[in-house]
A = this chain, B = another copy of it.
Amino acid sequence: MHFSSRVERLGGKGSTAWGIHFRGVEAQRRGEDVILLSVGDPDFDSAPNINAALKASLDAGDTHYGDIPGHPALRAAIAKYHTRLTGQEVEAGNVVVMAGAQSAMFAAAQVLLGPGDAVIVPSPRYVTYEALIGAAGASIVDVPLYPERGFHLDPADLEKAAAQPHVRGLMLTTPNNPTGAVMTREEVEAVADVAKRRDLWVLTDEVYASLAHERPHISPASLPGMAERAITVCSLSKSHAMTGFRIGWAVGPKDFVEQYCRLVLCMIYSCPPFIQAAAIEAIEGDQSAQKRMKEAYRARGRLVFERLGQSPHLSCHRPEGGMFVMVDVRRTGLSADAFANGLFEEERVTTLVGDAFGPEAGGHLRLSMTYDLPAMEEACNRILRFADRHAKRG
């Protein structure tokens, strides 16, 4: 069968990174004692009030086509929630509901990027970005985020990247997956400065915005002069443990919303009305479950940081936000790949090799904080044991 030239650009390192994870899942299904720290799926379930809202909507017969940009009530709820998360004042007309942040990012790339265009994306970055930019026909200009800077941006590197030809905008993630870094005010100001100076748009994936633990979340959209050029993508997947609901959104200026809806119509048409009802309850209903989850991720991050930090062979980046910790295994003398494979074989802990996210994360493993504290402690013990056993003697 003849495929489009696009398919050559849908792969990338990211897509092969999940080998250990899939082996782990299989071993777990065989009944083995595996701790899966390889995916970002919350161990929490969606709160009962959210599920109840979905059922009530279903019972009310909300099973027909929804509005293309989303239900007006959900758009209004998201607008308020966006203001709570970012400080930026927006209204329902700035919001388009999408089938999760992944689809919102894909659609944004389609609308903003075409063949010949380039977009600045810091590296390491989330594994699907290359594919969705490739699908849009555009190319990436890298900005390296080095572990020595805690994976924070060097404004000089950003400036250099922005001077490249055909650059139309920036695609950012804060709090970051995989690095766990939360962009500082200085970084976001540097982004806003270059974007305004060079007339670039800024598309930011902020799905971990509500999980900024050690540093306040700052959205590029909230800075002066940015509303007209900033698009913010978010979802309820991580904040409200709703990964399986596939509900997210994009917030942007009205001219963006207009073009975006034309794409949404032909890309997915609309989102299930009963899921939108659940999303309204998630945003406007009781937030206690959400607060408990946020505290849990914070406590787990601190535990892992402290426990792994005790090893002479490992160093851990303090997770500033999100649900991941990056662990530097370079002092063990093992490659991240060898460490991750050995750790799975000998200790039945699955992790994701940092290289999947970009060369700057080479020698690192990404750990998901998706188990309760005793299990996270057990995972740390296994990792420490493996590191002790295999670290080369200095």
Contact = CB atoms under 8 A, between A and B. Distances in A.
B65 A45 contact: no
Given A65-B41, A137-B115, A3 B243 contact: no
Contacts of A288: none
Given A6-B111, A263-B10, A263-B135, A229 B1 contact: yes
A92 interface: no
B131 A266 contact: yes
A63 interface: yes
Given A102-B269, A267-B103, A275-B272, A10 B259 contact: yes
A252 B191 CA distance: 44
A112 to B, nearest CB: 6
A274 interface: yes
Contacts of A131: 262-263, 265-266
Contact of A15 (B5, B111, B115, B262): B262
A127 to B, nearest CB: 9
So how many copies of this chain end up in the complex?
2
B201 A266 contact: no
A112 B65 contact: no
A128 B263 CA distance: 10
Interface string A236-258: 00000111111000000101100
A191 B154 CA distance: 58
Contacts of A2: 112, 168-169, 199, 201
25 contacts: A2-B168, A2-B199, A3-B259, A4-B110, A4-B136, A5-B115, A6-B114, A7-B262, A7-B263, A10-B259, A10-B262, A54-B58, A66-B244, A99-B99, A99-B246, A100-B268, A103-B269, A106-B267, A110-B135, A115-B137, A244-B274, A246-B269, A246-B272, A272-B272, A272-B275
